[in-house]
Chain A
Amino acid sequence: MDMVERYIAAVQRELPEKKRDDIGRELQANILDQIEALEAQLGSVSDAEVAELLKTMGHPRTVAFQFCPPTPLVTAQLMPLYLHTLYMVLGVLFVISTIEVTGRWLGGTEMGLLLFMKGIASDFLASAYFAFTAITIGFAVMSRSRKKETTEVAGTCKWSPEKLPPAGKSWQYISLQDIFTELATLLFLVMLIWYPLWRADSGAQSLFTDDALTVLSWFTPVIVIGIVHSLWQLRTRLWSRPMLMLNISVNSAFLMASIVLLTGPVLKNSEAAWLDGLGAAIVDRSIQALLVGVALIVTYEIVRDIRRLLRN
């Protein structure tokens, strides 16, 4: 009987406190019934047979799980809304981190390219931990307070089939990750180009040569269009023909700007702190490689969008 008591105690340890006594009491009655039935069948029951009986009932944790299945932090009905909120907030935080760290970098904080990337990552992670925790706790509270009978997925009560977006190809759906990455890149570029104007009081100098700065200044409206386009994508989340055409135009402008910038030096050959000991020649070569990379990526996107336009 000691074994039965230990088994029940082990099950009870896995149960919520308010249900422990009741379930333990009932489990004991059920086990004793089964032992009694065995005794009636075999005459007497050994410890080994009791142990075998308990083994067939399952591990104490499994039995506790059967009586009280764990409730998930966020219910299935709230899960789509939870994930959407999480991605949106993390996306916005990534953009804010990019802006903040770029500001610090341009403001004279000593950091090389690797430190700059690490700065964005650590700044983003610090705020992402907090956001993830806060959002999860918020949805956990909402999950507890929602009526248990509700099977409706959150955010789906007001809809009509007429207002659904047209059925399209799978590529037409724009992921939040793509939008926020593009938004962060474009905002980073604007800050980089207009930094001296933005921090005029500190007498900050531009990183770019005069020629490169002229090209980039003329190019700024295209970047702004790109930012507005990304914000619009957040609202629609689907590629349409006008959006594809706009994307082709913006990417064509990026391609032209990259080619123009490739023809001459882009950065001033100063002993700026951010060079971090790297030789100016290496930096120039890296910038040229970067520009070639940008040109290749936007060319790919132009070709991809033209094919989509033609097929659609």
Chain B
Amino acid sequence: MATASPDKLKLELRRGVLVLAVLASLREPHYGYSLRKQLQGAGVDIDEGTLYPLIRRLAEQGLLDSEWKQGEGRERRYYRLSTLGTERLEQLTQEWTSLNSAIGPLLLRDPNEEQY
């Protein structure tokens, strides 16, 4: 029997949630590094190998707008939510809230509680 490692399970769980976290953070414009710092500050640790390709993928899907800007002597690419991204974020937030309220009690249930 193949057993899933804890790291793999954690990765699968985080994959969808990270999209939500990135979209929510990009209500305000950010470049890659500043976004990573913002997420880390909020307690969402994400390595650059995951974050930078993820932002590009979301931009390719039309969920983010991007533009190159000069600042502090060099250029940076800034991303922010597009109109489509804002719509999708609202839908995903509803889904997240609904899932969270359904799964929360399941996770907190006492295993010794009587089953029906």
Interface residues of A (CB under 8 A from B): 23, 25-27, 29-30, 32-34, 37, 57-58, 62-63, 66-67
B75 contacts which chain A residues (CB < 8 A)? 25, 29
Q: Which residues 66-80 in B have Cβ within 8 Å of A in the complex?
A: 74-77
- CB closest chain-A residue, reference B74: A32
A58 contacts which chain B residues (CB < 8 A)? 49
A29 to B34, CA, bound (A): 12
Which residue of B33, B49, B76 contacts A37 across the interface (Cβ within 8 Å)? B33
Chain B proximity of A36: nearest CB distance (Å): 8
The main secondary structure of chain A at its interface with chain B is: helix
Interface residues of B (CB under 8 A from A): 31-34, 48-50, 52-53, 56, 74-77
Chain A proximity of B84: nearest CB distance (Å): 15
| 28 pairs of residues in contact across A and B, judged by CB atoms under 8 Å | A23-B56, A25-B75, A25-B77, A26-B32, A26-B56, A26-B77, A27-B52, A29-B76, A30-B32, A30-B48, A30-B52, A32-B74, A33-B31, A33-B32, A33-B33, A33-B34, A33-B76, A34-B33, A34-B48, A37-B33, A57-B48, A57-B49, A58-B49, A62-B49, A66-B49, A66-B50, A67-B53, A67-B56
Chain B proximity of A231: nearest CB distance (Å): 39
A25 contacts which chain B residues (CB < 8 A)? 75, 77
- CB closest chain-A residue, reference B68: A25
A58 to B76, CA, bound (A): 22
Interface centre among B49, B74, B76 (most CB of A within 10 A): B49
A30 to B52, CA, bound (A): 9
The main secondary structure of chain B at its interface with chain A is: helix
A62 to B53, CA, bound (A): 12
A57 contacts which chain B residues (CB < 8 A)? 48-49
A255 to B48, CA, bound (A): 70
A73 to B31, CA, bound (A): 34
Inter-chain pairs besides A29-B32, A66-B53, A67-B56, 10 sampled, C-beta below 8 Å: A25-B75, A26-B77, A29-B76, A29-B77, A30-B33, A33-B32, A57-B49, A58-B49, A66-B50, A67-B53
Chain A proximity of B76: nearest CB distance (Å): 5
B74 touches A26 (CB 8 A): no
- CB closest chain-B residue, reference A34: B33
- CB closest chain-B residue, reference A37: B33
A30 to B76, CA, bound (A): 8
A23 to B34, CA, bound (A): 18
Which residue of B34, B49, B52 contacts A26 across the interface (Cβ within 8 Å)? B52
A29 touches B48 (CB 8 A): no
B77 contacts which chain A residues (CB < 8 A)? 25-26, 29
A29 to B36, CA, bound (A): 14
- CB closest chain-A residue, reference B66: A26
B56 contacts which chain A residues (CB < 8 A)? 23, 26, 67
B31 touches A29 (CB 8 A): yes
A23 contacts which chain B residues (CB < 8 A)? 56
Chain B proximity of A31: nearest CB distance (Å): 9
A29 to B49, CA, bound (A): 14
- CB closest chain-B residue, reference A69: B53
A25 to B74, CA, bound (A): 11
B76 contacts which chain A residues (CB < 8 A)? 29, 33
Chain A proximity of B21: nearest CB distance (Å): 18
